[in-house]
Chains A and B, each alone.
Chain A
């Protein structure tokens, strides 16, 4: 059974600092991994999708890496801004599956 863990559960940083969010999964037979952002009372916004054959994806200030063999992904957010405050979720899809298994999320607060 796939389990996805995100550490830390919460993170508070001053504006301008880089953010490092960790995600680990127990079953390396994944098809892809996605990072989402969730704002309070709202739905999820997909940030980055990494296929299992890829090592990383970048979009603006966001960079996500994937090490499938060790079951880890890291989301880097450079030069954090107060608008980056949200909960960040990682989720994996098993090979030949269609359901995402989510981690518990990391709640981020960027202080001005």
Chain B
């Protein structure tokens, strides 16, 4: 049973481009969470999704950021018109049930660098 898979591991974008970060949860997990770790800061919650539904997006910036978790395929975190301040490590986690009852399993993250 493969762990949470994130790709790419490293992503370089110029200001104004789009960034797409992918996350495949562990097999059998239908709950996905995205967290961001800014340089010298702690991990911050962004969004929580279940298959085809956004449950909680209270941590996600209102503009330029969006997330989806389609019925088939990985969860996608999309950042439009990236700016230097978006440079960070983006982590995805998954669980079989809601996080209140379960350990979260994290991927290795995507390091986004905006030039």
The 8 Å CB contact of B104, one of A31, A46, A103, is A46
The answer to the question of B1 belonging to the interface, with a C-beta cut-off of 8 Å to chain A, is no
- Residue pair B33, A98 in contact (C-beta under 8 Å): yes
Q: How far is the CA of A103 from the CA of B4 in the complex (A)?
A: 22
Contacts of B107 in A (CB 8 A): 43
The answer to the question of A85 belonging to the interface, with a C-beta cut-off of 8 Å to chain B, is no
Q: A43-B108, A98-B33, A103-B42 are in contact. Are A31 and B100 (CB under 8 A)?
A: yes
- Look across to chain A and name the residue whose beta carbon is closest to the beta carbon of B6: A43
Q: Which of A11-19, A20-28, A68-76, A89-97 contacts B (4 or more CB under 8 A)?
A: A89-97
Contacts of B31 in A (CB 8 A): 98
Which residue of B48, B59, B91, B103 has the most chain A CB atoms within 10 A of its CB atom? B103
- Look across to chain B and name the residue whose beta carbon is closest to the beta carbon of A97: B100
Q: How many A residues, CB 8 Å from partner? A: 25
Q: How far is the CA of A86 from the CA of B95 in the complex (A)?
A: 24
- Residue pair A98, B56 in contact (C-beta under 8 Å): yes
Q: How far is the CA of A99 from the CA of B59 in the complex (A)?
A: 9
The answer to the question of B12 belonging to the interface, with a C-beta cut-off of 8 Å to chain A, is no
- Residue pair A49, B103 in contact (C-beta under 8 Å): yes
Least Cβ distance of A70 to chain B in Å?
22
The answer to the question of B43 belonging to the interface, with a C-beta cut-off of 8 Å to chain A, is yes
The answer to the question of A65 belonging to the interface, with a C-beta cut-off of 8 Å to chain B, is no
- Residue pair B55, A98 in contact (C-beta under 8 Å): yes
Q: How far is the CA of A103 from the CA of B42 in the complex (A)?
A: 7
- Residue pair A99, B48 in contact (C-beta under 8 Å): yes
- Residue pair A43, B109 in contact (C-beta under 8 Å): yes
Contacts of B35 in A (CB 8 A): 100, 102
Q: A44-B91, A45-B106 are in contact. List 14 more A-B contacts (CB 8 A).
A: A41-B108, A41-B111, A43-B109, A44-B43, A44-B104, A46-B104, A91-B43, A93-B100, A99-B33, A99-B56, A99-B58, A100-B43, A102-B43, A105-B42
Sample (9) of A-B pairs whose CB atoms are under 8 Å apart: A32-B100, A36-B106, A46-B106, A89-B43, A98-B31, A99-B45, A99-B56, A99-B58, A100-B45
